[in-house]
Amino acid sequence: MNFRAITASVAVPALCLASLSLAACGSNDEPYKAAPAWTGRKPNLPSPPQIAITIKSGESYTVAGVSHHLRSRIHEKDVSKKELSIEGYIVESNIPGAPACALHPVGKKDPENCKTEIPSFFIADTKDGKAGRIRVLGFARNFAVVYEAMKKYKTLKEAPKDKDVIKDDQWNVELPYPLPAVGAKVRVTGTYGFASEKASGLVTDPVNGVMTYKKIDVLEPAPEPASFQNVKL
């Protein structure tokens, strides 16, 4: 059998069918006609919600504003690792719940089984603290220093003079007077960023950031002064 003859006999009908198909498609196509613009009633769609964030209150940042900038690729450089001030309400503090084993004069070691934290407090834009909060630490390296300040400050009726100020010599910082208490409105100044500079262990917050304390101004006093729940002075 002649292989070339078979191939030719199969190829010719296939070519004819392809040609007919193309011809048929071409004959049925209609020229493109642009559709006119819609002239009917426009749909009544709601406008996108506008979420307003107050970035600053005077010269100080708000909690929402500074944390928004920290997460922003555009504004992160303006606040990250910068010294700045944040205004807010103290909504939480670990001073009242400090364990009794950590409350003693400076120089005495905590017992080996004493579980404790770095003294810190949280500030928020509102008293309920539901809209986000920033942790503030760096005003004392441990609760022994806070213990000394609590003993000294409770006898004072006004801000201490230099000789009466309790200092954390290792962190080179003066403890605030009055000591941070829930309910107070404050302006905290320090270095802000994703991590604390002074924490003995790494303390980070990738959402709201962490404030390393330098000083504090009380704008509205707390209803009650700071106190320990587990030790009476």
pLDDT of residue 40: 78
pLDDT of residue 39: 80
Closest CA to 134 of 195, 72, 82: 195
Ranges in the chain, pLDDT < 50: 1-18, 20-25
Spell out the domains of the chain, with CATH numbers in brackets: 56-220 (2.40.50.140)
Alpha-carbon dihedral 139, 143, 144, 147, rounded to 10 degrees: 90
Tokens of 202: 């790494």
d(CA 50, CA 72): 18
Give the pLDDT confidence of 60-97 residue by residue, as tens digits. 999 999 999 999 999 999 999 999 999 999 999 999 99
Give the pLDDT confidence of 190-207 residue by residue, as tens digits. 999 999 977 666 899 999
pLDDT of residue 200: 62
H or E, element range at 8: helix 3-28
| Cα 123 versus chain centre, distance | 11
Q: Give the number of C-alpha atoms closer than 13 A to the C-alpha of residue 117, restricted to the C-beta side.
A: 13
pLDDT of residue 28: 61
